[in-house]
Amino acid sequence: MAIVELSGVKKDYHTGETVVHALRGVDIQVEPGEFLAIAGPSGSGKTTLLNIIGTLDSADEGTVIIDHTDIPSLDPKERARFRRGKIGFVFQTFNLIPVLTAYENVAFALDLLDLPEREVRERTMQILKDVGLEGMEDRRPAQLSGGQQQRVAIARALVKNPILVLADEPTANLDSETGKAIVHLMQELNEKYGTTFIFSTHDKMVMDHARRLVLLHDGLIQEDIRRES
């Protein structure tokens, strides 16, 4: 059963007299455990699509079912709870809290889950080890490189065992070698934990690594390519 089921999704943005048709009828299904890249020119609708899948934004028309839940039927509180429990986010600009250490940035994501302290510690230490930051737990973001900061952000997204991780241009602020290492890391975590990853990118190298590549053009899916890994 698909984890993401979108059909006929449309989204317009209105600014003054102008209307932008950001998504013009998108159908996409994603199965559990997929590692999927969304690519396309600037303005093609990648961020809009990720925000709708991530329940951060609503579609004007169409069906949005995530993990068998009809998202438009949830009220804002239910939607926030759904998002917090099931979806991890990784951003282009890392978005770590500067005054917290790497450990605290990750453990913070578990705060609202009301877990025993020992479990918070074990899960946080394990995921920081998985992303290659063992021994750096006490560093603040300013004491870490860009790639290391993105590793913390990936650990933060994964520590709550989400069903889905969404990453909007996760390598855009990294040099190509570091970007490559981050994509490899996401791939390893996808294989180790079976977490579904959906990420947008402009980067050819990142596209080449995805087992499935969805190309958006002008608010529509132009191609949906699946490759053997």
Ligand X SMILES: Nc1ncnc2c1ncn2[C@@H]1O[C@H](COP(=O)(O)OP(=O)(O)OP(=O)(O)O)[C@@H](O)[C@H]1O
How far does Cα 214 stand from its chain's mean position? 15
Identity of the residue numbered 147: G
| Residue choice 1, 15, 111, 142 for contact with ligand X (CB under 6 A) | 15
The two tokens of residue 1 are 């059963």
* Distance separating alpha carbons of residues 105 and 101, to the nearest angstrom: 6
- Could you identify the residue written with the tokens 């020119």? 41
* Distance separating alpha carbons of residues 208 and 213, to the nearest angstrom: 8
Task: By CB under 6 A, tell whether 189 contacts ligand X.
Answer: no
Task: By CB under 6 A, tell whether 72 contacts ligand X.
Answer: no
Taking the complex as a whole, the smallest distance from the CB of residue 172 to ligand X amounts, in Å, to: 9
Identity of the residue numbered 64: V
Taking the complex as a whole, the smallest distance from the CB of residue 40 to ligand X amounts, in Å, to: 6
| Residue choice 45, 54, 88, 162 for contact with ligand X (CB under 6 A) | 45
Taking the complex as a whole, the smallest distance from the CB of residue 196 to ligand X amounts, in Å, to: 20
Taking the complex as a whole, the smallest distance from the CB of residue 57 to ligand X amounts, in Å, to: 9
* Distance separating alpha carbons of residues 142 and 133, to the nearest angstrom: 15
Task: By CB under 6 A, tell whether 22 contacts ligand X.
Answer: yes
Which of 50, 107 has the CB closer to ligand X?
50
Which of 14, 118 has the CB closer to ligand X?
14
Task: By CB under 6 A, tell whether 46 contacts ligand X.
Answer: yes
Q: How many residues bind ligand X (CB under 6 A)?
A: 12
| Residue choice 44, 105, 124, 171 for contact with ligand X (CB under 6 A) | 44
* Distance separating alpha carbons of residues 100 and 63, to the nearest angstrom: 39
Taking the complex as a whole, the smallest distance from the CB of residue 175 to ligand X amounts, in Å, to: 19
| Residue choice 1, 16, 17, 42 for contact with ligand X (CB under 6 A) | 42
- From first CA to last CA, the distance across the chain in angstroms is 21
Contact yes or no for 224/212 (Cβ under 8 A): yes
User: For 57, how many CA atoms within 13 A lie in the half-sphere containing its CB?
Assistant: 18
Residues that bind ligand X (CB under 6 A): 13, 15, 20, 22, 40, 42-48
